[in-house]
Amino acid sequence: MLYHLVCPIKYRRNVLSDDVEMSLVEVCRNISERYEIHFVEIGADENHVHFLIQSVPKISVEIIVRTVKSITAKELFRLHPEVKSKLWGGNFWTSGYYVNTVGQYGNEDVIQKYIQNQGEEKTVYKTFNKNQLRLSFE
């Protein structure tokens, strides 16, 4: 299954410095190694992050979202304590999110282009991770 997941940062705060962005990508790589969750693309606008995620059908989207949000938040707070001071209350992400499967009408190329074209007018959108779609997990 292929999912487009959008996670807003709590209070819509802009806390994604270059160091935090690099850590986010590394944390996502570690998630890929431990779980059957593959990050095809990761990108961010000022206050939210887009993930294009491939996973196996036996893992529900709820588990994928919970895994991604909880591990990235915990690790980013651990690696960057300065972020926690900007996000009072102990949460990195908002409780809400957007997720949709990528299929016939929103194929991988369309979603990748959408993610890449976010923030074009503001020129602040950054793509952190760009991988090939994988057909199987090893």
**Is 22 domain-assigned?**
yes
What is the per-residue pLDDT across 3-31, written as a single tens digit (0 to 9) for each?
Answer: 999 999 999 999 999 899 999 999 999 99
Residue showing tokens 């294009």 = 52
Does the pLDDT of residue 35 top 50, yes or no? yes
Q: The domain spanning residue 57 has which CATH number? A: 3.30.70.1290
- How many CA atoms lie less than 13 Å away from 93 in the CB half-sphere? 24
Number of structural domains found in the chain: 1
**Is 93 domain-assigned?**
yes
**Is 116 domain-assigned?**
no
**Is 41 domain-assigned?**
yes
List 54's β-bridge partners, or say none: 2, 38
pLDDT at 90: 84
- Residues 67-87: what's their mean pLDDT? 95
**Is 135 domain-assigned?**
no
CA 116 from chain center: how many Å? Answer: 13
CA distances (Å), origin 94, targets 34, 57, 132 = 24, 26, 29
Containing domain of residue 69, as a range? Answer: 2-102
pLDDT band at 103 (very low <50, low <70, confident <90, very high): confident
Q: Is 73 left (phi over 0), alpha (psi -120 to 50) or beta?
A: alpha
**Is 118 domain-assigned?**
no
pTM: 0.78
**Is 129 domain-assigned?**
no
**Is 95 domain-assigned?**
yes
